[in-house]
Amino acid sequence: MSPTTTRRRATAALLGAALILPLGACGSDGGKDAAKDSTTSPSAEAKGAKLTVLAASSLTNVFEKAKASYEKSHPGTRITFSFAGSQELAAQVRQGAPADALVTADTKTMDGLAAETGTPAVIARNRLVIATGKGNPHKVGALKDLADTGLKVVLAAPEVPVGRYSKKILDAQKIVVKPVSQEPNVRAVLSKVELGEADAGLVYKTDVTSAADKVDAVEIPDDQNAVASYPAATLKGSENSEAAAAFVAWLSSPEAQKILRDAGFQKP
């Protein structure tokens, strides 16, 4: 073999080795990537899911406490609540507002969104009371007193769950009330009484409990009252379905139920 041929073969061998080394390195990195891809992806909670929960306005105070408790025991999750009347929440869902879960103050509103939600579960119940100014200056004692035309009464609008419950119990007792205003949610009714813009209003028992330093409550007998149910469900459009389902399930847990009971809500 000639010296020239020997040199050419040696050069070819070196070039081949040079090409193989990078390919081998690429193959090694690819193996690591494949190994990474083959591992189970962390859950939505582990990644730090950020949940948006649409909730009935009567849940404002208790859900802020629930949030602190949930985030403490689920450090990967952060929750933002959007509170409004249930009818407003339903409109937001139908319009495609980005959210992960929904809690309404009645089953009728939730049932009307069956195509948009997972299977709902009732997490709490509530009852109505008559809210009055502190000390009950107008001596309101019963539902029939709300018919007094000299009394400024405020109610929620009839399309709002608490407004619908109010109409139901007043109609059942054949009591005609001419409210000075009809509000978009129960918190607005409570606010009117707190500010002295109304003498009385029908709200949930838990609302008065949360504002006990500003208003008083006149109890309504069970046989004249209505029971409000609070169903919770995930939203099918959620981008955090796993974390949303975990939160909705947690609302029925002993931890969450104690928070709801302490705030005056009744068992589901």
- φ, ψ (nearest 5 deg) of residue 196: 80, 10
Residue 79 tokens read as 């929750």
Residue with tokens 């950020």: 50
Query: Does residue 82 share a domain with residue 63?
Result: yes
Q: How many CA atoms lie within 13 A of 13 on its CB side?
A: 6
pLDDT for 45-60, tens place per residue?
Answer: 445 799 999 999 999 9
Query: Does residue 223 share a domain with residue 131?
Result: yes
Mean pLDDT on 177-200: 96
Query: Does residue 192 share a domain with residue 131?
Result: yes
Query: Does residue 192 share a domain with residue 73?
Result: no
Q: CA nearest 156: which of 217, 222, 206, 86? A: 86
Q: What is the CATH number of the domain that holds 210?
A: 3.40.190.10
Mean pLDDT of the chain: 86
Q: CA nearest 142: which of 129, 154, 155? A: 129
| β-bridge partners, 153 | 200
Residues 6+ apart with CB under 8 A from 105: 56, 58, 59, 86, 126, 161, 162, 186, 204, 228, 230
Question: Does the residue 33 lie in any domain?
Answer: no
Question: Does the residue 31 lie in any domain?
Answer: no
Query: For residue 141, what are the domain limits?
Result: 126-227
pLDDT at 15 over 50: no
pLDDT for 89-147, tens place per residue?
Answer: 999 999 999 999 999 999 999 999 999 999 999 999 999 999 999 999 999 999 999 99
Is the four-CA dihedral 117, 120, 107, 183 of positive or negative sign? negative
Query: Does residue 156 share a domain with residue 65?
Result: no
- Residue 72 — very low, low, confident or very high, per pLDDT cuts 50/70/90? very high
**Number of domains the chain is built from:** 2
CB 178 within 8 A of CB 149: yes
Residue-level pLDDT at 36: 34
Query: Does residue 113 share a domain with residue 141?
Result: no
Residue-level pLDDT at 259: 98
User: pTM for this one?
Assistant: 0.80
| β-bridge partners, 239 | none
